């Protein structure tokens, strides 16, 4: 059993008291019912006939377990006054680069922490650690997304950035992470101008799940056939309420708007007690 | 790809339901998958065979009921049908839609084979 959350993986499930596993297949008589077939047979009055199966209503959501962990994470963020953001995009959209720059800007202004999700390596965590921000790297191995359970474990290794931001950089993947709630306040989807402005229509789930879309690498716009206005229009086709910002870490264009968005969302989550402890509340060091 | 981890959830749910009901073999697993759920039924079928191996549902048949997608169109002020991959209202072509159904991913029911004692000779 895991000490952090009391979880048990299926392999760790013990046999429940009173639950017999010893259904014995050795009979003291012969009968040749088929163990391979889908329909078991019983013998009645010398005729083999199908045994009745019984139907059991289950009605359980496939994501119910993840959602329970996500709810626990969300409760924890609310209690600590932490803005948790789930950063999602295809690989190479500039999530880590934007994150590094953002951490530099927030340094001394807001407490921060980072959970990095990648299939393999600590490369991103090393980049984050170089900024001085506390970071936990999660490697998903063959997994294509972070789930709320993994994030819960990562939280156990991080001091809560009360009155600040926890950035969760998801695995680069524009499909699967859309379905998995981590307990975040918002999913922030990145779309770089080198990807194509039709991506929101081709991968609508992610843009539907997000609250903010960052169109990144805008300094490259003169060199690529990417229409930022069309990209945003496409994103709003699948999610009319989506906020959109266009920015570049290299040129700095639009970056202030992103920081203002962060400050607004942080302020919305700081409980009064944290605000007082931090020295009066609004606009700390800003 | 996340169909594999979703199917692992199916296995946990099915194994537990079989255990609670004292069954050693599951003959059918019926899922309800919404048209707007971010999951591919074909990929689920592939994952089912792999993930169910060694468990009570190893030889079970997988049935997938599709649940139609529905949305509220704010411009039409009406409930409308929304197919997989569609982002516009079929009536007005507008995009001010609120999805109201068809995102479910659920184990609906399972069929359990009679246990060994019941299956012996009459």
pTM of this prediction? 0.81
Angstrom distance (rounded) from CA B122 to CA A63: 43
Mean pLDDT by 10 residues, chain B (122 residues): 90 97 96 92 94 96 96 96 90 92 96 66 44
- Which residues of B fall within a CB distance of 8 Å from A25? 116
CA distances from B59 to A54, A57, B50, B62 (A): 16, 19, 11, 9
Higher pLDDT among residues B119 and A227, named by residue: A227
The boundaries of the domain holding residue B112 are 2-69+101-116
- pLDDT, one tens digit per residue, over A136-192 is 999 998 888 999 999 999 999 999 999 999 999 999 999 999 999 999 999 999 999
Instruction: Please give the tally of structural domains in chain B.
Output: 1
Of A62, A142, A239, which to mutate for an interface test with B (greatest number of B Cβ within 10 Å)? A62
Taking 60 as the threshold, does the pLDDT of residue A274 lie above it? no
Q: Do A10 and B105 touch (CB under 8 A)?
A: no
With respect to residue B34, please indicate whether it lies within any of the assigned structural domains.
Answer: yes
With respect to residue B105, please indicate whether it lies within any of the assigned structural domains.
Answer: yes
Higher pLDDT among residues B98 and A99, named by residue: A99
- Which residues of A fall within a CB distance of 8 Å from B2? 144-145, 175-176, 179-180
Vertex A263 angle, CA A258 and A268, to 5°:
130
With respect to residue B47, please indicate whether it lies within any of the assigned structural domains.
Answer: yes
Please report the ipTM that was assigned to this predicted complex. 0.87
Sheet holding B26-34, edge to edge: A54-61, B105-112, B26-34, B61-67
Taking 90 as the threshold, does the pLDDT of residue A131 lie above it? yes
Percent of all residues in chain A with a pLDDT value above 90, rounded to a whole number? 72
- Which residues of B fall within a CB distance of 8 Å from A69? none
> pLDDT-derived band of residue A47, with 50, 70 and 90 as boundaries?
low
With respect to residue B12, please indicate whether it lies within any of the assigned structural domains.
Answer: yes
- pLDDT, one tens digit per residue, over A18-30 is 443 444 344 444 4
Phi, psi of A125 (to 5 degrees): -60, -35
The CATH number for B28's domain is 3.30.2320.50
With respect to residue B57, please indicate whether it lies within any of the assigned structural domains.
Answer: yes
């Amino acid at each position: 059993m895991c000490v952090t959350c009391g979880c048990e993986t299926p392999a760790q499930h013990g046999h429940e008291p009173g639950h017999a596993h010893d259904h014995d297949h050795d009979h003291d008589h012969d009968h040749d019912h088929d163990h391979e077939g889908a329909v078991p047979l019983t013998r009645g009055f010398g005729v083999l006939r199908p045994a009745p199966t019984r139907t059991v209503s289950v009605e359980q959501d496939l994501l119910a377990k993840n959602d329970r962990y996500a709810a626990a994470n969300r409760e924890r963020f609310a209690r600590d006054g932490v803005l948790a953001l789930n950063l999602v995009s295809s690989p190479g959209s500039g999530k880590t680069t934007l994150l590094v720059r953002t951490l530099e800007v927030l340094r001394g202004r807001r407490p921060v922490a980072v959970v990095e999700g990648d299939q393999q390596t600590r490369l991103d965590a090393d980049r984050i650690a170089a900024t001085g921000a506390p970071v936990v790297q999660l490697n998903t191995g063959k997994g294509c997304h972070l789930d709320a359970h993994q994030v819960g474990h990562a939280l156990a290794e991080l001091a809560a950035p009360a009155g600040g931001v926890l950035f969760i950089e998801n695995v680069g993947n524009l499909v699967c992470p859309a379905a998995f709630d981590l307990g975040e306040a918002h999913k922030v989807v990145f779309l770089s101008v080198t990807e194509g402005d039709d991506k929101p229509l081709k991968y609508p789930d992610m843009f539907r799940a997000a609250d903010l879309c960052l169109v990144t690498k805008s300094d490259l716009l003169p060199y690529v056939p990417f229409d930022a206005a069309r990209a945003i229009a496409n994103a709003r086709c699948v999610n009319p309420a989506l906020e959109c910002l266009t920015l570049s870490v290299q040129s700095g264009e639009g970056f202030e708007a992103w920081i203002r968005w962060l400050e607004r969302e942080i302020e919305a989550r700081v409980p009064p007690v944290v605000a007082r402890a931090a020295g009066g509340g609004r606009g700390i060091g800003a | 790809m996340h169909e594999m981890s979703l199917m692992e959830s199916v296995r946990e749910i099915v194994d537990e339901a079989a255990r609670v009901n004292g069954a050693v073999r599951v003959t059918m697993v019926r899922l309800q998958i919404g048209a707007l759920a971010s999951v591919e039924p074909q990929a689920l079928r592939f994952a089912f065979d792999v993930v169910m191996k060694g468990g009570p549902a190893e030889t079970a048949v997988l049935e997938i009921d599709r649940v139609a997608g529905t949305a509220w169109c704010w411009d039409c002020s009406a409930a409308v049908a929304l197919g997989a991959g569609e982002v516009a209202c079929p009536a007005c072509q507008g995009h001010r839609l609120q999805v109201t159904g068809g995102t479910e991913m659920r184990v609906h029911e399972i069929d359990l084979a009679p246990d060994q004692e019941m299956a012996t000779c009459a």
